[in-house]
Amino acid sequence: MLSAVTSHLCRHPQLHSHGHGRRGNQWSGVFNGLDAVGRDAVAHEVQDRCSGHPERDGQYHYHGPGSCDTDAQTQAHSLAGFALDGFSIFGVYDDQRIEMTNADLDECHGHYHEIDLEGALTESFHYHLTNEYPYTLGCFMGSDVVRMRLAPPGQQGQALEPPPRR
């Protein structure tokens, strides 16, 4: 069963002054790196040929970079989407086409440098997908983010607790 999802993102996101954002993430069908019992989802769950699968309620999603998203997997600094705090999420390669690893990124899975946003080079914080856990965001660096679990049509979503830090 498919359902529409609407997200409102901050056009000009701001970093938290203390550098720690809320944990948990979900955007365009990408979840955090954990399965329902808190394990590495990519290592413990069955994934299809595109590295995704449906959750219990039927919503198809990824826990990391999808293997069918060829731009995010192969192109230099490819925009993969936006986090709920408004910051950009790029694929697994930086602007020099070097694969990003956890060692290159902060605890939220991002870093700060010049990127192309809407055709202009801008110094900005942004996230990257990687091929190692937690694959997506470890937390949000932006200002307050409302985290809701999507619900099937006719049911109300519920607030999510952040995943544990590994």
Residue 43: the pLDDT is: 86
Residues belonging to the chain? 166
Structure tokens at 47: 């994934």
- Kindly state the average pLDDT of the residues 7-36: 54
Band of pLDDT at residue 72, cut at 50, 70 and 90: low
pLDDT at residue 19 tops 50: no
Instruction: Specify the pairing of strand 88-90 against strand 79-82.
Output: antiparallel
d(C-alpha 53, C-alpha 48), whole Å: 6
- State the DSSP H helix or E strand holding residue 117, giving kind and residue range, or none if neither: strand 110-117
Structure tokens at 76: 């230099």
Per-domain boundaries in the chain: 17-166
Q: Check residue 129 and report its DSSP letter.
A: -
Rounded to two decimals, what is the model's pTM?
Answer: 0.68
- Kindly state the average pLDDT of the residues 64-90: 75
Listed residue (66, 102, 101, 108) closest to 83, CA to CA: 108
- In this structure, the dihedral spanned by the alpha carbons of residues 95, 99, 102 and 104, taken in order and rounded to 10 degrees, is -40
For tokens 């070097």, the residue is 98
